[in-house]
Amino acid sequence: MENIVNIKNEALKNGLIWGIVNIVLFLVTWYVAPSLMSSYWYAGISLLIGLAFAIFFCIDMRKKVGGYWTFGEALWPIFVTFVLAMGLVFVFNILFGKYIDTTYPEQMKEMVMTKSEATMKSFGLGEEESAKALEKTRENLDQQFTPTFSQAVMGFGISAIMYFIGAVIFALIFKRNNPNPFPNQNGGQFEAS
C-alpha cells in the first residue's frame, strides 16, 4: 500500500515540475524572442522537451515502484503526470493573457495569422480559399487565446482526452511485468506471511 501512496505523490510532483518547466520556457521565450512563439522551431523544441520529460518520468516512476508495473498500474500515474502538467500550462496561459500581459492574445493571433497567410500563399491557394481558411483560423485562435468559460472547459476536456490517449501509449511502452510470478517465493521455498 505504501507504493501506491508514494507513486501518487510522485505523479503529482512530476506533473508540477513538468508544468513549471513549460511555464518558464514559455515566459523566457515570450519576453526574450516572442516571434519564436509561432515558429516550427519553438513547437519542435517544446515537443522534444515534452517527450524527454515524459520518458524520464515514466522510467523514474517505474523504478520507484520496484521496477515492475502492469499496464493498469502504470496508466493512472502517467496520466496524472501528463494532465497536471498540461493543466498548469493551460490555466497559466489563460491567466497570463487575461491579467499579466493583456497584449499576449492579440500579438499571438497576429503572428499566427501572418504565418498562416504566408503558408497558404506558398501552397498556391486562391484568394477565396485563403480567405475562408484564414477566417476559420481566426475563429480557432479566438477560442484558443481568449476563450469563454465554456470554451475553456471544452478545450481542457479535449486536451485531457488527448493526454489520456498519450498516457495509454506510454503505459503500453513502459509497462514491465515481473518475470517472477510468485514474488514471495525465495529459493524454491514460500516465505511465511
DSSP 68-92: -B-HHHHHHHHHHHHHHHHHHHHHH
Local confidence band at 184 (pLDDT 50, 70, 90 cut-offs): low
**In this predicted model, what pLDDT tens digit does every residue of 119-174 receive, in sequence order?**
888 887 778 888 888 888 888 888 888 888 998 999 999 999 999 999 999 999 99
Lowest average pLDDT, out of 3-7, 94-98, 132-136, 139-143, goes to 3-7
Between 20 and 183, the more confident residue is: 20
pLDDT at residue 172, rounded to an integer: 97
- Radius of gyration of the chain from Cα atoms? 22
- The cell numbers describing 131, all together, are 480567405
Identify any residues that bridge with 69 across adjacent strands, giving them in sequence order: 176
Local confidence band at 1 (pLDDT 50, 70, 90 cut-offs): very low
Task: Please give the Cα distance from 143 to 161 (Å, whole number).
Answer: 18
Residue 177, phi then psi, degrees to nearest 5? -80, 145
pLDDT at position 63 over 70: yes
Domain map (residue ranges) of the chain? 2-178
pLDDT at position 5 over 60: no
Mean pLDDT over residues 37-64, rounded?
93
User: CA distances (Å), 165 to each of 43, 56, 73, 143, in order?
Assistant: 20, 18, 16, 23
Instruction: Report pTM.
Output: 0.82
Average pLDDT, the chain: 88
